Chains A and B, each alone.
Chain A
């Protein structure tokens, strides 16, 4: 039973270390709760069935890379791609007042519009950066040279802020 318990602990620990950030990343990337959960869970299933070995940070990077490719595949068709860029509502928490809800919705729409302005690779890089990945891990996930990550991130972040605050000024 000890081994059985250890296996469960290992499964649960690995899952809990990776999944919450992974599904958040997928949701930010797609704006679609269902797609985000599908991609994140599929990546986790593959992680556990593909003999992926290594410390948690390496497993985490593997899962993010896999989920990124799953999302890319899902939105390869242009029709679906348009859906990617739509604003999808996020259910507010209970107790949130109507004013706060409106503010949150407006901010969410601006953030979604800003992400939509970015090229897919830039969007992935930006979101992975804000999940705490190193430049090397980002480079590996999106297939760019590690030395280019700083330049590409700077451009993506600047563009995001321009659109986000630009919408804010005209609102």
Chain B
């Protein structure tokens, strides 16, 4: 008896053969214990390989990635309208320029992007004139293009100083809270502020990358000043910089093994990159 080849059996297993071929193969399998055994072995092998591959998988923060891609797509369109894009950059970074202007249906993308940029420039000018009737009008419209709720975490420049141009903020009602920073240069500084409320945040220079999960923020930072906001009420809380614990807050109290430069009631400033 001629037996089925492994390549055909694996295609049958994967449902990748056309119906007539599958019917012939199934007819053979019904009468050939050897091939049926081979198919069963292939099915088990498939399960084993799938399980083995799953061990490679880690957690990836899709919400942050989505926000990042949205900003990059919007920025790509704004770049195309030349120097005016610079006017909109702050809005783009904050996610306040709708991705509408750069949707996949690009037929009107440049017009839309240019319109958005011109509008934002006009709105900014209007907002700079206290008492101007344009101010409220422009402000309302800017809020009107704020991204939808799917962007759970996105840059929060409103809370950052001019040099802290990007960041991530998460809600954390109870501990543990872990903040992991990487790439802080030796001559850099990490400023930790104790804040009220139930939100933790990390801000860093533009180009820094952030991921977050429940009770956890990870940041890969570009050189520059870093600010971390930690809620006073959340314990345990830990801050790890380039693999070293800088601070740990537990119900028993605060320990600060990191290289602190200054410390007061409002927070601690650390030297960066100390290994």
Q: Cβ of A41 and Cβ of B100 under 8 Å apart?
A: no
List B residues 95-137 near A (Cβ within 8 Å): 98-100, 102-106
Q: Which residues of A contact B72 (CB under 8 A)?
A: 41, 45
User: Does B193 sit within 8 A of A, measured CB to CB?
Assistant: no
Give A36 to B72 CA distance when docked, in angstroms. 17
Q: Cβ of A160 and Cβ of B52 under 8 Å apart?
A: yes
CB distance from A107 to the nearest CB of B (A): 4
Q: Cβ of B100 and Cβ of A24 under 8 Å apart?
A: no
Q: Cβ of A150 and Cβ of B10 under 8 Å apart?
A: yes
List A residues 125-171 near B (Cβ within 8 Å): 126-127, 129-130, 134-135, 149-151, 153-154, 157-158, 160-161, 164-165
- 20 extra interface residue pairs, beta carbon distance < 8 Å, beyond A44-B69, A150-B8: A4-B98, A10-B104, A12-B148, A14-B104, A15-B66, A41-B69, A47-B104, A48-B99, A51-B104, A90-B56, A90-B57, A104-B55, A107-B52, A107-B55, A111-B55, A134-B16, A150-B16, A153-B10, A157-B49, A161-B49
Q: Which residues of B contact A27 (CB under 8 A)?
A: 56-58, 60
Q: Which residues of A contact B148 (CB under 8 A)?
A: 5, 8-9, 12
Q: Pick the residue among A11, A23, A37, A158 that contacts B70 (CB under 8 A).
A: A11
A11-B99, A150-B11, A150-B16 known; A130 vs B65 contact (CB < 8 Å): no
Q: Which residues of A contact B209 (CB under 8 A)?
A: 37
Q: Cβ of B10 and Cβ of A7 under 8 Å apart?
A: no
Main secondary structure of the interface of B (DSSP, over half): helix
Give A14 to B145 CA distance when docked, in angstroms. 20
Q: Cβ of A130 and Cβ of B55 under 8 Å apart?
A: no
User: Does A65 sit within 8 A of B, measured CB to CB?
Assistant: no
Q: Could you say which interface size class chain A belongs to?
A: 35 or more
List B residues 1-52 near A (Cβ within 8 Å): 6-11, 14, 16, 45-46, 48-50, 52
Q: Cβ of A150 and Cβ of B7 under 8 Å apart?
A: yes
A44-B69, A45-B73, A161-B48 known; A8 vs B100 contact (CB < 8 Å): yes
User: Does A82 sit within 8 A of B, measured CB to CB?
Assistant: no
11 A-B pairs within 8 Å (CB atoms) are namely A15-B62, A19-B65, A24-B57, A45-B69, A45-B76, A48-B73, A49-B102, A135-B14, A150-B16, A153-B7, A160-B49
Residue among B11, B102, B106 with the most chain A CB within 10 A? B11
Give A158 to B77 CA distance when docked, in angstroms. 46
User: Does B158 sit within 8 A of A, measured CB to CB?
Assistant: no
Give A8 to B69 CA distance when docked, in angstroms. 13
Give A130 to B49 CA distance when docked, in angstroms. 9
Give A41 to B71 CA distance when docked, in angstroms. 11
Give A150 to B50 CA distance when docked, in angstroms. 17
Chain A 55-76 interface 0/1 with B at a Cβ cutoff of 8 Å (1 = within): 0000000000000000000000
Q: Cβ of B99 and Cβ of A151 under 8 Å apart?
A: no
